[in-house]
Amino acid sequence: MTAHDFLQLQAVDSALDAITNRLPRLAERAAHEHDKAALATLDAATAAAQARIDAAQRSIEAAEQANHDLTTKRTRLEAQLKTVIATREAEALISQIATINAQRSELDDQELAALDEQAAGEAELAALQVQAPALHEALDVTAAALAAAVAALEAEAAGLHAERDALVATMSPADLASYDHARKQFHGVGVAHLEGSHCSGCHMDLSPAELDLVKAAPAGEVSECPQCGRILIR
């Protein structure tokens, strides 16, 4: 295992980490989520418009049923009126018929209002339904774009994994363990450069004695930063 191998492995792992970070943050994903939300909003508005129509329909049916019941009652009273002789009885029947006519008139107004409400609901529903095909089409487009972006990153990751496997195959278990340990400890970046007397990982200066130790290591061998413990590449 040479310093160069460590750097290469670190580069591969950093690239894999970057892909892992990018996957949930893809612009294509945001666009797709946006379209999904727009369609959910449309679906909710469509359901609300349909509920408005249904409620109006129930009002219309209730008014018609009540009207029908009143008509039956009025027919009965009118028949009764033809048979009564007493004026008081006739007046009472006429008054009841007048009340029924007033109730019927009120029911007719209610039914007309419900018909208007139903028409308004149907217009609203139609306007919403017009928007649906374009939204579904947009959703398909962003779904395809997202799938393509994810597939591209996954292909990139597959290539990196193959590269990593080849690199790891050349490493001793001890080197691999020290690399894995440093990477875990330093949140993914376990390899640092010596820049002058300065560690690029922790940004601390090495003392002249520490520097001598690092520089005394044979070429190609790696040292650890005495300050942070990262694998230190000269």
Contact residues toward Zn ion (CB under 5 A) are 199, 201-202, 225, 227-228
DSSP 215: H
Instruction: Give dist(CA 202, CA 186) in Å, integer.
Output: 10
Whose Cβ is closer to Zn ion: residue 117's or residue 224's? 224
Min dist. Cβ of residue 151 to Zn ion (A) = 39
Query: For residue 208, what are the contacts with CB-CB under 8 A and spacing of at least 6?
Result: 197
Nearest in space to 9 (alpha carbons), one of 217, 160, 200:
160
Whose Cβ is closer to Zn ion: residue 3's or residue 128's? 3
Whose Cβ is closer to Zn ion: residue 92's or residue 189's? 189
Min dist. Cβ of residue 202 to Zn ion (A) = 3
Residue 40 neighbours by CB distance under 10 Å = 10
Min dist. Cβ of residue 162 to Zn ion (A) = 31
Instruction: Give dist(CA 197, CA 206) in Å, integer.
Output: 5
Min dist. Cβ of residue 226 to Zn ion (A) = 8
How many distinct helices (H) and strands (E) make up the chain?
5, 4
Instruction: Give dist(CA 22, CA 190) in Å, integer.
Output: 21
Whose Cβ is closer to Zn ion: residue 149's or residue 206's? 206
Min dist. Cβ of residue 168 to Zn ion (A) = 24
DSSP 191: E
Helix (H) / strand (E) containing 83: helix 27-83
Whose Cβ is closer to Zn ion: residue 14's or residue 103's? 14
